[in-house]
Chain A
Amino acid sequence: MISAIVRTAITGLRRDRASLALSFVLPIAFFTIFAMVFSGQHDTIPQVKLIVVDQDHTLASRNLVRGLEREGSLAVSTRPESKDPKAPAPDYTAATAEAAVKAGNFPVALIIPAGWGQHPLAFNGSDGKAPEIQLLNDQSDTIAPQIVAGLLQKAAMTSMPASMAGEGEKYMKQYIGGLTPEQQKRWDANMAQLNAIEKRREDAQAAAGASVPDSSSSFNGMIKVETRGVAGEHKNKNLISFYAAAIGVMFLLFTASGSAGSLLEEQESGTLDRVLSSRVTMTTLLAGKLTFNTLLAFAQLTVMFLWGWAVFHLEISGHVSGFVVMGLCTAFAVAAFGIFLASMCHTRGQLGAVSTLLILVMSSVGGSMFPRFMMPEAMQKAGLFTINAWAIDGFQKVFWRDLPISQLWQQVSVLLGIGIVLFVLSRRIARRWEYS
């Protein structure tokens, strides 16, 4: 008897492809995504994009820059990319580097100030002898500045040994009163060797331009760094806007697909037939559903951000226009996505399974579950195919970076484009409902 019940259930499950997908495909997809993000089991190491501005132009600063360039975990840029290889762009300045971080193009920038090479080491904190390296960071990425700060110390200790030793000698003389003539002679001989090593490295680097990974041990705290957030600074609750957008978009997708599912309900009940036998055409009907779903999604986002403002002190007052622009574009794309899914599916149950599968995968890859900067580069690029990524980026520009509406053109264009393409596709697929 029990075996008959089990056999019936297995047959039912085998023929319900939607349930099968939810049972097996979704967990595997999620497992893979989380494993790729958190276990490092991927081919490409997530590199931190870093701008370095060398205002010092000494051997020590050049060696430090090269040391940073040798780090495989960093993608160092000293000048913006130029479309014309014959006319390279001018080097970053402190101002252009800060602007690039503010715009979200780079998470971190290092400014090596003029005069730093005279006293690169800072025992016992800053002794006021030399300016400190400035680390400008975007606070939406909490990991990148820590990686850069650590690798900066490592690069300093491994790429400029002569400078480090020279500085050490100065501090030794200051604190213990100098060396005997014999000790000084041996010290100078060693320094000559270290200088020769640095020189050879510089020459080899200039000749080959190759990056040689260095596996020397790190040594923290010798290089004094002043860290300054240039995006999202002075905001006590600045992660709230990220989560409002990230979680909001994910649930908007669920709501939109659920709401668009009314089309399938109406088709099953015969109401769709009756509506289409009246003066309402399929295009009018879909446009009406799209308008409703857009307004519903925008209302949801508004409620979410108002909750963030009321409970978590999210700053809305200065961002209303940006919110409206991003909110409407996101709502439009999400609504069209829902209608597209509904037009693709044949039953409400099928829509439920397909939408759950797609939305959860899109949300995880698109940054709704964890920030995209934590993902491998390939996955970050894959995220660009999701509504979530563009919507979250746009909201971050508004709430985090305080950028004007004109800076949202990329996100606005992509979201509107996604919405229009999906709506046109939905209209074509919906032909099957027009006539038997």
Chain B
Amino acid sequence: MSTAVSAPAAVAALPVEVTGLMKRFGGLTALDGVSLRLEPGICLGLLGPNGAGKSTLIRAIVGRVLPDSGHVRIFGAEASTAAARQALGWIPQELAIYPRLTCRENLVSFGKYQGLGGARLTEQVQWCLHWAALEDRAGDAAGMLSGGMKRRLNMAAGIIHKPRLVLMDEPTVGVDPQSRNRIFEMIEHLRSEGMSILYTTHYMEEAERLCDRIAIIDHGRIIAEGTSEELVRNAFGSRSEVTARFSGNPEEIAAWVKQRGGTLSEGAAQFTVTRPTEIAPLLDEASTRGIGIEDVLLRRPNLESVFLHLTGRELRD
């Protein structure tokens, strides 16, 4: 999907089309030829560790980062043009709200910045307050809200003009699990209304729960893209993942795990097996070598496994 070429008419209708995007900050290459397409009504997750280039890509799509080369088109319009700005809503990672203004005043301000006014503005403010479950706090200063409420207001301010495309840059950063679930419900509501969403996160569970498709980004490059199942299947086929914890000489354990084609992470060894029956010979060999077995877990690989498989690093590195 990442570099596919479509007919011009179809390209014009795409919510997002990124082609060969390059961006350097001094000696750091933040985006290294990124190409990406977002189909209408789809929630595309951009999954990658901190510093992978997620935020830079989002900011380039918003028009806040000028790429060194490459193109970004929003529904066919160049990024940062009036048409592109009107079509997209951006929910930045930072709490980009006015802390001294009330929730309602914040939404009115951002609505006016987007060109809303009159009854449409009133209607949209009310809709956003309801969507973010902030109706009973509408008159409270944003700075006085809890962390989760601020996050929800931050999201509401980004979609006050009801855009066709929403870019969410890690909207759940620093949020407690309960508030996170509330935010997930808000996003699912937007999906049900047919909005196209580009969602960046470094939480695998979020990507798996919310996103129709997932693009994995690392070191400024899209290294894989597809549905969650496609990514796992492409990386592991029908194989399963065995995670085992061993006791004994760490150097001997590391050498043996490597010899068996596994990886070590946070004290746990990971192997892939085609059939569950392959586990017994593996454990027998460990015992033979005097390596103690503490616990063993067999599971289907997930996105975390895919990322580890593709990059040799964990998502949260």
Please tell me if B59 contacts chain A, counting CB pairs below 8 Å: yes
Chain A: CB-nearest residue to B60: A436
Interface segment, one of B90-98, B121-129, B271-279: B90-98
The docked-state distance in angstroms from the alpha carbon of A412 to that of B110 is: 36
Please tell me if B85 contacts chain A, counting CB pairs below 8 Å: yes
**Closest beta carbon of chain B to A341's beta carbon, Å:** 22
Please tell me if B2 contacts chain A, counting CB pairs below 8 Å: no
Please tell me if A274 contacts chain B, counting CB pairs below 8 Å: yes
The docked-state distance in angstroms from the alpha carbon of A435 to that of B82 is: 16
Please tell me if B64 contacts chain A, counting CB pairs below 8 Å: yes
**Closest beta carbon of chain B to A260's beta carbon, Å:** 16
Please tell me if A75 contacts chain B, counting CB pairs below 8 Å: no
**Closest beta carbon of chain B to A181's beta carbon, Å:** 98
The interface size bin for chain B is 20 to 34
Contacts of B88 in A (CB 8 A): 277
**B85–A279 contact, CB under 8 A?**
yes
Binary interface encoding of chain B residues 189-232 relative to chain A, with 1 for a CB under 8 A from any of its CBs, else 0? 00000000000000000000000000000000000000000000
**A435–B97 contact, CB under 8 A?**
no
Given contacts A271-B96, A436-B59, is CB(A279)–CB(B82) below 8 Å? Answer: yes
The docked-state distance in angstroms from the alpha carbon of A274 to that of B154 is: 10
Partner of A278, one of B65, B66, B114: B114
**A278–B85 contact, CB under 8 A?**
yes
Please tell me if A90 contacts chain B, counting CB pairs below 8 Å: no
The docked-state distance in angstroms from the alpha carbon of A104 to that of B314 is: 77
Partner of B92, one of A270, A278, A435, A436: A270
Binary interface encoding of chain B residues 247-288 relative to chain A, with 1 for a CB under 8 A from any of its CBs, else 0? 000000000000000000000000000000000000000000
The docked-state distance in angstroms from the alpha carbon of A354 to that of B157 is: 34
Tell me which residues from 61 to 119 in chain B have a Cβ below 8 Å from any Cβ of chain A. 62-66, 82, 85-86, 88, 90, 92-98, 110, 113-115
Please tell me if A280 contacts chain B, counting CB pairs below 8 Å: yes
**B85–A274 contact, CB under 8 A?**
no
Please tell me if A316 contacts chain B, counting CB pairs below 8 Å: no
Contacts of B85 in A (CB 8 A): 277-279
Please tell me if A273 contacts chain B, counting CB pairs below 8 Å: yes
Given contacts A274-B158, A436-B64, is CB(A279)–CB(B115) below 8 Å? Answer: yes
Chain B: CB-nearest residue to A271: B96
Contacts of A270 in B (CB 8 A): 92-96
The docked-state distance in angstroms from the alpha carbon of A276 to that of B63 is: 9
**Closest beta carbon of chain A to B178's beta carbon, Å:** 25
Please tell me if A89 contacts chain B, counting CB pairs below 8 Å: no
**Closest beta carbon of chain A to B161's beta carbon, Å:** 8
The interface size bin for chain A is 10 to 19
Binary interface encoding of chain B residues 16-35 relative to chain A, with 1 for a CB under 8 A from any of its CBs, else 0? 00000000010000000000
Chain A: CB-nearest residue to B56: A436
**B96–A278 contact, CB under 8 A?**
no
Partner of A436, one of B65, B97, B98, B115: B65
**A269–B95 contact, CB under 8 A?**
yes
Partner of A277, one of B25, B63, B97: B63
The docked-state distance in angstroms from the alpha carbon of A269 to that of B98 is: 9
**Closest beta carbon of chain B to A368's beta carbon, Å:** 30
Please tell me if A310 contacts chain B, counting CB pairs below 8 Å: no
Given contacts A275-B113, A278-B113, is CB(A436)–CB(B94) below 8 Å? Answer: no
Contacts of A275 in B (CB 8 A): 110, 113
**B64–A279 contact, CB under 8 A?**
no
**B114–A271 contact, CB under 8 A?**
no
**B98–A276 contact, CB under 8 A?**
no
**Closest beta carbon of chain B to A277's beta carbon, Å:** 5
Chain A: CB-nearest residue to B95: A269
Q: Chain B CB within 10 Å — which of A276, A278, A435 has the most?
A: A278
Contacts of A273 in B (CB 8 A): 59, 64, 92, 94, 96
**B63–A278 contact, CB under 8 A?**
no
Chain B: CB-nearest residue to A262: B98
Contacts of B110 in A (CB 8 A): 274-275, 278
Binary interface encoding of chain A residues 274-289 relative to chain B, with 1 for a CB under 8 A from any of its CBs, else 0? 1111111000000000
Chain A: CB-nearest residue to B63: A277
**B86–A277 contact, CB under 8 A?**
no
Contacts of A278 in B (CB 8 A): 85, 110, 113-114
**A435–B96 contact, CB under 8 A?**
no
Partner of A269, one of B59, B65, B96: B96
The docked-state distance in angstroms from the alpha carbon of A301 to that of B246 is: 77
Contacts of A279 in B (CB 8 A): 82, 85-86, 113-115
Contacts of B59 in A (CB 8 A): 273, 436
**Closest beta carbon of chain A to B124's beta carbon, Å:** 14
The docked-state distance in angstroms from the alpha carbon of A282 to that of B5 is: 35
The docked-state distance in angstroms from the alpha carbon of A275 to that of B114 is: 9
Contacts of A277 in B (CB 8 A): 62-64, 85, 88, 90
Contacts of B63 in A (CB 8 A): 277, 435
The docked-state distance in angstroms from the alpha carbon of A412 to that of B186 is: 55
**B66–A436 contact, CB under 8 A?**
yes
**Closest beta carbon of chain A to B64's beta carbon, Å:** 6
Contacts of B66 in A (CB 8 A): 435-436
Chain A: CB-nearest residue to B92: A270
**Closest beta carbon of chain A to B29's beta carbon, Å:** 14
Tell me which residues from 365 to 415 in chain A have a Cβ below 8 Å from any Cβ of chain B. none
The docked-state distance in angstroms from the alpha carbon of A269 to that of B95 is: 7
The docked-state distance in angstroms from the alpha carbon of A275 to that of B86 is: 13
Contacts of A435 in B (CB 8 A): 63-66
The docked-state distance in angstroms from the alpha carbon of A277 to that of B115 is: 12
Given contacts A274-B158, A279-B86, is CB(A269)–CB(B113) below 8 Å? Answer: no
**A271–B62 contact, CB under 8 A?**
no
**A274–B92 contact, CB under 8 A?**
yes
**Closest beta carbon of chain A to B30's beta carbon, Å:** 9
The docked-state distance in angstroms from the alpha carbon of A274 to that of B161 is: 13
Cross-chain pairs A/B with CB under 8 angstroms, 26 sampled: A269-B97, A270-B92, A270-B96, A271-B96, A273-B59, A273-B94, A273-B96, A274-B90, A275-B113, A276-B64, A277-B62, A277-B63, A277-B64, A277-B88, A277-B90, A278-B113, A279-B85, A279-B113, A279-B114, A435-B64, A435-B66, A436-B25, A436-B59, A436-B64, A436-B65, A436-B66
Q: Residues of B at under 8 Å CB distance from A? A: 25, 59, 62-66, 82, 85-86, 88, 90, 92-98, 110, 113-115, 157-158
Known contacts A435-B63, A436-B59, A436-B64; 12 further A-B pairs (Cβ under 8 A)? A270-B92, A271-B98, A273-B59, A274-B96, A274-B157, A277-B62, A277-B63, A277-B64, A279-B82, A279-B115, A435-B65, A435-B66
* List of 9 A-B pairs having minimum Cβ-Cβ separation, nearest first: A270-B94, A270-B96, A278-B113, A274-B96, A271-B96, A435-B66, A436-B65, A277-B62, A280-B113
Q: Residues of A at under 8 Å CB distance from B? A: 269-271, 273-280, 435-436
